[in-house]
Amino acid sequence: DPRPGAPKGPKGVYRVPKAYERSFRWKLSQFRFLCQTNALPNHIKISVSRQTLFEDSYHQIMNAEAFALRRRLYIIFKGEEGLDYGGVSREWFFLVSHEVLNPMYCLFEYANKSNYSLQINPASYVNPDHLQYFKFIGRFIAM
């Protein structure tokens, strides 16, 4: 192709340039590198009670600056001893992700008969804080 800026490289069927591919291993190493370079020093401490897990998590994450949420996560369950070397954080993620689906908050519903796909509940507006809860869920997923 004589046009300036035309894609170069090996051609496939019908002389269309082949898509440039990277190996999974390379993509994984780049992902890990970018995660490390975007991380901040120190940690963000979240102290929650098991009885009010969703509300405590909501208030602490929403009161934190979005930039600070890039720090390493340190979870403390009130009234429990334990060092967070990853297990406590993993449990917190598991518990909060299940709590998000609690019908009491009216945020999500099953998209079909299977339990594997969800959609935003059209009636979520009945909860006056539903937009802030969705913002919290977005921050939670990004962590």
Domain of residue 75, CATH code? 3.90.1750.10
pLDDT at 98: 92
Identity of residue 10: P
Higher pLDDT, 57 or 109: 57
Q: Assess whether pLDDT exceeds 90 at residue 13.
A: no
Higher pLDDT, 40 or 18: 40
The mean of the pLDDT values for the chain is 85
DSSP string covering 15-72, please? GPBPPP---HHHHHHHHHHHHHHH-EEEEEEEEE-STTHHHHHHHHHHHS-GGGGGEE
Range of the domain at 82: 41-142
pLDDT at 59: 96
- The span from the CA of 119 to the CA of 108, in Å, is 6
104 within some domain: yes
- The span from the CA of 118 to the CA of 107, in Å, is 10
User: What CA–CA distances, in Å, run from 33 to 36, 37, 86, 91, 113?
Assistant: 5, 6, 20, 26, 40
Q: What is the mean pLDDT of residues 5-22?
A: 64
122 within some domain: yes
pLDDT tens digits, 37-96: 877 788 899 999 999 999 999 999 999 998 888 888 889 999 888 776 778 899 999 999
Find which of 24-38, 107-121, 125-139 is predicted with most confidence, using mean pLDDT.
125-139
pTM of model > 0.75:
no
- The span from the CA of 17 to the CA of 82, in Å, is 56
pLDDT at 36: 80
pLDDT at 14: 66
pLDDT at 117: 84
Q: What does the block give as tokens for 141?
A: 């997923």
What is the total count of domains within the chain? Answer: 1
Q: What is the mean pLDDT of residues 17-28?
A: 79
